[in-house]
Amino acid sequence: MQQVYVGKGRALDPEKYFIVIMNQIGNGLSSSSHTQNTSNFPNVQIGDDVRAQHHLLTEKFAINSLALVVGGSMGAQQSYEWAVRYPGMVKRAAPIAGTAKTTPYNTIFTQAIIDSINSDPAWQGGRYAVSIDVQLGLQRLAKLFTLMGWSAEFFNKERWRALGFSSMDEFITDFMIAYFAPMDPNNLLCMAKKWQQADVSNGRGDNLQAVLSGIKAKVFVLSIESDLLFPPADCEAEHKMIPGSEHHVLQTTDGHFAIFGTDAAFVEQVDGHLKTLLVM
Amino acid sequence: MQQVYVGKGRALDPEKYFIVIMNQIGNGLSSSSHTQNTSNFPNVQIGDDVRAQHHLLTEKFAINSLALVVGGSMGAQQSYEWAVRYPGMVKRAAPIAGTAKTTPYNTIFTQAIIDSINSDPAWQGGRYAVSIDVQLGLQRLAKLFTLMGWSAEFFNKERWRALGFSSMDEFITDFMIAYFAPMDPNNLLCMAKKWQQADVSNGRGDNLQAVLSGIKAKVFVLSIESDLLFPPADCEAEHKMIPGSEHHVLQTTDGHFAIFGTDAAFVEQVDGHLKTLLVM
């Protein structure tokens, strides 16, 4: 995230702003089944991430006002949660390629992710010896993200060439499968379940309209034209519930994973919108 | 197909036309590993289907001119093959939600379908005793088609209610999983491989542009707006290679599986285009 979105002259300019980048709980860097060496890591919610981040910002850094909360995918889920949970603290929010409440379609996708791991007999209910034991499950997971994380056009236009690969098979094997292969299966399950359960209206009356209409921050909803997981229509529906918000659709053929910075033109669009938002 | 697309007053009106509906090779009704009781059924190509159909039409029915060749998905692949292979015989063709050459993205999807079956240890290289032994593989396949066969909007707007289900879980279990559960895994593999290898330029110089530009039939390329497997852009690219062809994008939220007739408004659009084509 830092390399893609932060820099001098960028919207997120460390010479102008005190920028804090968080790792999410369960991802193997923050507290997770991997770091705690347990197959019995608790079921974590997006709200747990945001509460922990709030502790850090207020107690460690004594920050009580945030110029901007921004994040992509599960970071977008956190951005929405921040704006809902701490309305007096968040001046602006920019959820990118994510929703405040997980859609039915993403419930199906995250369940397929969960099943790809726990259908591997080597997973053993989470009590595998080393993560590589679950390599077949991890490969299935990588292939699901290959199908849904990019877009048809990404493959049909051979956009993987721009990432330095000479064939689609090489890209799938040496990038997608290789990317997930060293990850811890229980960590991935923890994050997939957190994604699946994400819903800012949970515990707040289950009324999404009412919860989103209470947001005080200036919100730019940023969706991705070719995103198979968070299609613009889903983001548009939530934008309409947030007073004074704007919805901008980012143009790229790279689908959801454009958030990783594979398309320079996409990153420029994000930068432009964040600059506009930051002077509002 | 007959129930959805054929009828008095429809474009495909049996009082006006002699209509022949074919089952494809490998599907369990035509010749297939299931009907031949073999795990060693040959690798079949779309061209094999079309040649067999040609034999039937010319030798059994003495038909030497076809007013229209029409089909959806793998039927679209056959329609393109017909127009290319027998240019003097096919007056009109209407490939619906399919391509003349399988796209890279569909190569990935079909490989995921293939892997969902053959990664099940119970498949045993095709030598399972009964198909239900491979139920875990069949369930994974059903879930892949759940993700890619419909669309995000289909689930987010709860379109499954129109199919008579009261919850998404019920729809997935009682429709999608139940639909594929009785199918023969080797049949499904045969068809998935045929889909994966589909390419009208194969054996004809591997030059798609040259092959499609030689089509003599009047072609209506019909794609589906929300189709994740055959996005309109892919169909548009092929339409541009076919002289005098038209490309019409069908509006529905039901994705690829709209071809099964789940959306009456979609079926009406198809009917309208076929009627227009048939008087050209």
Could you give the percent of chain A with pLDDT greater than 70?
100
Q: Is A223 helix (H, G, I), strand (E, B) or coil?
A: strand
pLDDT at residue A1 in the model: 79
- Element holding A79 (H helix, E strand): helix A74-85
* Alpha-helical segments (H) within A160-207: 168-170, 178-180, 185-197
* Residue B240: Cβ within 10 Å count: 13
Burial of B8 (0-12, 13-18, 19+ CB in 10 A): exposed
Digit-coded pLDDT (tens) for B93-107 = 999 999 999 999 999
Domains, chain A, in order of start with CATH, read 2-102+198-278 (3.40.50.1820), 107-192 (1.10.1740)
Mean pLDDT for chain A overall = 96
Residue B103 to residue A152, Cβ atoms within 8 A: yes
**Beta bridge partners of residue A249, listed in sequence order:** A223
Q: B79 vs chain A: nearest CA distance in angstroms?
A: 22
Give A112's contacts in chain B (Cβ within 8 Å). Answer: 143-144, 147
Q: How confident is the model at residue B29 (pLDDT cuts 50, 70, 90)?
A: confident
- Which of A36, A31, A37, A35 lies closest to A51, judged by CA? A31
Which positions in chain B touch A233 (Cβ < 8 Å)? Answer: 152-153, 156
Residue range B154-179: average pLDDT? 96
Determine the Cα–Cα distance for residues A256 and A236; give it in Å rounded to an integer.
16
Q: Do B119 and A109 touch (CB under 8 A)?
A: no
Choose the closest CB to A104 out of B109, B112, B168.
B168
Per-residue pLDDT tens over the stretch A32-87: 887 888 878 889 999 999 999 999 999 999 999 999 999 999 999 999 999 999 99
CB of B230 closer than 8 Å to CB of B97: yes
Confidence of residue B1 (pLDDT cuts 50, 70, 90): confident
Strands A92-96 and A218-224: parallel
Percentage of chain B beyond pLDDT 90 is 92
How many CB pairs below 8 Å do chains A and B form together?
77
Instruction: Tell me what the pLDDT averaged over chain B comes to.
Output: 96
- Section B31-60 average pLDDT: 91
Q: What is the ipTM of this complex?
A: 0.90
Please state the φ and ψ torsions of residue B97, each to the nearest 5 degrees: 55, 55
Element (H, E) at A250: strand A246-250
Do A143 and B112 count as a contact with CB atoms less than 8 A apart?
A: yes
Residues A226, A219: Cα–Cα separation, whole Å: 21
Indicate the pLDDT class of residue B202, thresholds 50, 70 and 90. very high
**How many whole angstroms separate alpha carbon B78 and alpha carbon A60?**
66
A159 contacts on B by Cβ (under 8 Å): none
Tokens of B151: 């669309």
* Residues A100 and A238 sit within 8 Å (Cβ to Cβ): yes
At B39, is the pLDDT very low, low, confident or very high (cuts 50, 70, 90)? confident
Q: Which among B108, B231, B233 has CB closest to A147?
A: B108
CB contact under 8 A, B144 and A112: yes
For residue A15, the SS3 value is coil
| CA–CA distance, B139 with B167 (Å, rounded to integer) | 18
DSSP for chain B, written as a single string = -HHHHB-TTSSB-TTTS-----PPTTSSSSS-HHHHT-S------HHHHHHHHHHIIIIIS----BS-EEEETHHHHHHHHHHHH-TTTBSEEEEES--SB--HHHHHHHHHHHHHHHTSGGGGGGT-SSGGGGHHHHHHHHHHHHHHHS-HHHHHTTGGGGGT-SSHHHHIIIIIIHHHTTS-HHHHHHHHHHHHH-BTTTTTTT-HHHHHHT--SEEEEEEETT-SSS-HHHHHHHHTTSTT-EEEEEP-SSGGGGGGS--HHHHHHHHHHHHHHHT-
**Phi, psi torsion values for B18, nearest 5 degrees:** -90, 105
Whether A112 and A149 have beta carbons less than 8 Å apart is answered as no
Indicate if A169 belongs to the active site.
Answer: no
> What residues contact residue A52 under an 8 Å CB cut-off, 6+ apart?
A25
Residue A222 DSSP SS3: strand
Q: What is the pLDDT of residues B215-273, one digit of tens each?
A: 999 999 999 999 999 999 999 999 999 999 999 999 999 999 999 999 999 999 999 99
Residue scoring higher pLDDT (B149 or A36): B149
Selecting from A103, A136, A156 the residue whose C-beta is nearest the C-beta of B104 gives A156
A220: nearest Cα among A273, A275, A257: A273
pLDDT digits (tens, 9 = 90+) for A81-118: 999 999 999 999 999 999 999 999 999 999 999 999 99
Contacts of A234 in chain B (CB under 8 A): 152, 156
CA distance A218 to chain B (A): 26
Please tell me the distance in Å from B155's CA to the nearest CA on chain A.
6
Q: Per residue in B117-146, pLDDT tens?
A: 998 999 999 999 999 999 999 999 999 999
Structure tokens at A236: 């548009």
Q: Which of B103, B108, B136 is facing A146, going by the closest CB pair?
A: B108
Q: How far is CA B28 from CA B33, B122, B124, in A?
A: 7, 20, 20
Quick one: pLDDT at residue A33?
A: 81
Measured CA distances, B71 to A118, B8, B48, B96, B98 (Å): 39, 19, 16, 6, 9
